[in-house]
Amino acid sequence: MSESNTILKLPDQRTATMPKRHYINNEDGLLSWLLTGDHKRIAMLYLMSITVFFFIGGAFAGLIRLELLTPQPDLVSSDTYNKLFTMHGIIMVFLFLVPSVPATIGNFLIPIMVGAKDLAFPKINLLSWYLYVIAGITILTALVLGGVDTGWTFTTPLSTHYLNTHVLTTAVGVFIAGFSSIFTGLNFIVTIHRMRAPGMTWFRMPLFCWAHYAASILMVLGTPVLAITLVLVALERVFGIGVFDPTKGGDPILFQHLFWFYSHPAVYIMILPGMGVISEVISTFSRKRVFGYTAVAFSSVAIALFGFFVWAHHMFIMGVSNYSALVFSLLTMLVAVPSAIKIFNWTFTLQKGSITFETPMLYAFGFMGLFTIGGLTGVFLGALGMDIQLTETYFIVAHFHFVMVGGMLMAFLAGVHFWWPKMTGRMYPESLSKLAAVTTFIGFNLTFLPQFIVGYLGMPRRYHSYPAEYQVLNVLSTAGATVLGVGYMLPVLYLAWSLKYGAIAGNNPWQATGLEWQIQSPPLTPNFIETPIVDYEAYDYEWLARKTEQEVTTVG
């Protein structure tokens, strides 16, 4: 097994068993899960809930693409269609992408990676999950009661005065989800500042932690602005006064500024944790320290900082002054640079490495390619004049799906596969997972590349029907979506299968560095038997080699 093209090293399956005690069998009963303070259990609770919401949001995407097979509005009514894309956006953004990596993988791993027994505030962590669930139920309630059709962007005055759908219920749901996010971010920041083990300096932390730290700053500082904006929308809707209504002296552009002040950093909240995953995966499967550790760490923080100053690039054609448009365009170009730096650093991590191509690495490669395209098309949009043609068309839809789905979702899947053995003690079936990864990649490109083209042609977004000459491209896109759907179903199936029938993983099947791989799989509830003392750098494969030489691994 060790001469082959994989670094996977599993214990002898004839004698291997799961550890006697771990966080899953430590306590029994539903209440022990629902009232847990254990960050690992909370992470699992999150994983199950976001998967449910992912598939609900995905079902809506399927219906949208189905409708768009034909130019005519013939599958559902216009109002229903509007509700479908609104719910798809709200669920995917607030109930899937924002919590995806941080609340599942981040919650599970950050305490372990810094050498702590738990996050700083376990009860707040649990509260965070409950807020998430309540938010999800609230949004589903809005759905069941008849849906909402504001678009996920709640543009005023449409959302305040011109719709009689369940705007208020949805706004309340998103508000609560926002606080779930704020508490998660707060927990991470305090944990990273205050709970690192002896010897774990800032620059010895895995880059995964740096990425989450940066994302947490955004969560903590940006999300409250969304909260107050939703409060104002709700008040205006209920009491009919006009802080966003021009006939009453208000200004709808004020809403745009307040909304995008959060929603632009939100996209970095969504992508930064994914970038953290990629750092870990690329490093492990090249057996090499990430090239330019400091640059990658600082670029995460730079993205967070710059990300606060570019919000009006969503408003270039809305009548903002030409001069503010200039400033925001310039800053948008600046925020693109740290992402480019990361891509190159990851690429050069491969050089002189010893590369293998297990499933997490495949997803990571997919991320790098697709995120590069997505990020560069962002530069298209940041160039003022170009934005005039491209904004509000399918080019935008393609751009953000490239970064969010081709980027973030691939990173999430990379992370789930990479840390699955750690979280569950089991390995997933490798050939099936590789198939799923490739299927996803092909399906994704088929779905979203045609959308760039049809966007430049002029097809607007959020359109129920469209001119006939756009049909071929839409059919390609729907075909791709079908393949993509299959690609996403497969992991659910084989990962569930692996819980019972997967190979026993052992402590460190990937022979990776990082504190999480030095403890058992699944970990004990307090993570460590004794507090680790860290006297080596991150990604120290030489240290790892020395350590494994001296060790005798037993499992059971």
Partner 1 sequence: MHISPVLWQFLVKWLNASALFPREASTIAPYMDALYFFLLAMTVVGMALVGALILGFSIRYRKARNPVATQVEGSTLLEATWTIIPLALFLVCFVWGALLYFRIYNPPTNAMNIYIVGKQWMWKAEHPGGQHEINALHVPIGRPVQLTMISQDVFHSYSIPDFRVKREVIPGRYTTVWFQATDVGTYHLFCTQYCGTAHSAMIGEITAMTPDDYDKWTRDSTSGMSLAQNGERLFASMGCNACHSGNAAARGPSLAGVYGSKLQLNDGSQVQVTDAYLRDAILNPSQHITAGYAPIMPTYQGQISEDGLIDLVEYIKNMQTNYRVQQTLTTAQSNQAAPVTPEMVKP
Partner 2 sequence: MHEDHHEVLPQHLHHFATEEQQRETGTFGMWLFLLTEIMFFGGLFFAYLLFRNWYYDAFVAASNQLSIPLGAFNTVMLISSGFCMAVGVWAAEVRKQSLLVIMLILTTFFGLVFIGVKYVEYKEKWELHHIPGAHFDVSQFENPAAYGLKEKPLAPDMAEKTQVFFFLYFAMTGMHALHMIIGVGLLVWLILRARRGAFSSGYVAPIENFGLYWHFVDIVWLFLFPLLYLINRHPLH
Which is nearer to partner 2, 107 or 339 (by Cβ)? 107
Which residues, numbered 389-428, are part of the site for partner 1 (CB under 8 A)? 389, 391-393
User: Considering the complex, what minimum distance in angstroms separates the CB of residue 354 from partner 1?
Assistant: 4
Q: Which distant-in-sequence residues (6+ apart) come within 8 Å of 349 by Cβ?
A: 282, 283, 286, 288, 289, 290, 291
Give me the amino acid identity at 80.
Answer: T
**Helix, strand or coil, per DSSP, at residue 134:** helix
User: Largest Cα–Cα distance of the chain, in whole Å?
Assistant: 77
Rounded to the nearest 10 degrees, what angle do helices 107-114 and 207-239 cross at?
Answer: 140
What number of other Cβ atoms are within 10 A of residue 214's Cβ? 27
d(Cα 421, Cα 428) in Å, to the nearest integer? Answer: 8
Q: C-beta of 226: minimal distance to partner 1 in Å? A: 19
The two structure tokens encoding residue 372: 């590069």
246: contact with partner 1 by CB under 8 A = yes
**Residue 9 contacts which entry, partner 1, partner 2, none (Cβ below 5-8 A, type-dependent):** none
Distances (CA, A) of 354 to 227, 264, 350, 388, 508: 47, 38, 8, 46, 18
Span 133-152, contacts to partner 1 by CB under 8 A: 149, 151
CA-based nearest residue to 95, from 58, 158, 123, 53: 53
Nearer to partner 2, 48 or 529 (CB): 529
Q: Which residue has the tokens 């979702």?
A: 409
Counting contacts by CB under 8 A, is residue 327 touching partner 1? no
| Least CB distance to partner 2 at residue 115 (A) | 10
Per-residue x/- marks for partner 1, 31-70, CB under 8 A?
----------------------------------------
Q: Give the one residue of 387, 413, 422, 495 binding partner 1; rule: CB under 8 A.
A: 387
Q: Confirm if 296 and 290 have CB atoms less than 8 A apart.
A: yes
- Binding partner selected for residue 74 from partner 1, partner 2, none, CB under the kind-specific 5 to 8 Å limit: none
Which entry of partner 1, partner 2, none binds 96, CB below 5 to 8 A by partner kind? none
Nearer residue to partner 1 within complex by CB, 221 or 295: 295
CB burial class (10 A; 0-12, 13-18, 19+) of residue 143?
Answer: buried
Cβ proximity of 500 and 460 under 8 Å = no
Q: Is 275 in the site for partner 1 (CB under 8 A)?
A: no
Decide whether 175 or 306 has the Cβ nearer to partner 2: 175
Chosen from partner 2, partner 1, none, partner binding at 182 (C-beta under 5 to 8 Å by type):
partner 2
Q: Which of 102, 273, 360, 382: binder of partner 1 (CB under 8 A)? A: 382
**Tokens 């560069």 identify what position?**
376
**For residue 522, cis peptide bond before it (omega within 30 degrees of 0):** yes
Of 187 and 329, the one with the shorter C-beta distance to partner 2 is 187
174 touches partner 1 by CB under 8 A: no
Cis peptide before 157 (omega within 30 of 0): yes
What does the binding site for partner 2 look like in residue numbers (CB under 8 A)? 111, 116-122, 124, 182, 186-187, 189-190, 193-195, 220-225, 227-229, 231-232, 235, 239-243, 248-251, 254, 258, 261, 526, 531
* 430 part of the interface to partner 1, by CB under 8 A: no
Q: Give the one residue of 51, 141, 155, 518 binding partner 1; rule: CB under 8 A.
A: 155
Among residue numbers 2 through 21, which ones bind partner 1 (CB under 8 A)? 5-7
Q: Which is nearer to partner 2, 232 or 409 (CB)?
A: 232
Q: Give 187 or 279: the residue with its C-beta nearer to partner 2.
A: 187
Q: Does 27 bind partner 1 (CB under 8 A)?
A: no
Q: What angle do the packed helices 122-145 and 167-194 form, to 10 degrees?
A: 160
Contact pick of 121, 130, 344, 497 for partner 1 (by CB under 8 A):
344
Map residues 461-480 to x or -, x wherever contact with partner 1 holds by CB under 8 A.
xxxxxxx-x--x--------
Residue listed under structure tokens 């068993």: 17
Residue 379 contact, options partner 2, partner 1, none, Cβ 5-8 Å cut-off depending on partner type? partner 1
Contact region for partner 1 (CB under 8 A) — 120-128, 205-213, 288-296, 400-408? 288-296
Quote the CA–CA distance of 264 and 312 in Å, as a whole number: 9
Taking CB under 8 A as the criterion, the residue among 14, 29, 322, 549 binding partner 1 is 322
b/e code 461-492 from CB counts within 10 Å (16+ = b)? bbbbebeeebbebbebbbbbbebbbebbebbe
State yes or no: residue 122 binds partner 1 (CB under 8 A).
Answer: no
For the purposes of burial, counting CB atoms within 10 Å of the CB of 23, is it exposed (0-12), middle (13-18) or buried (19 or more)? buried
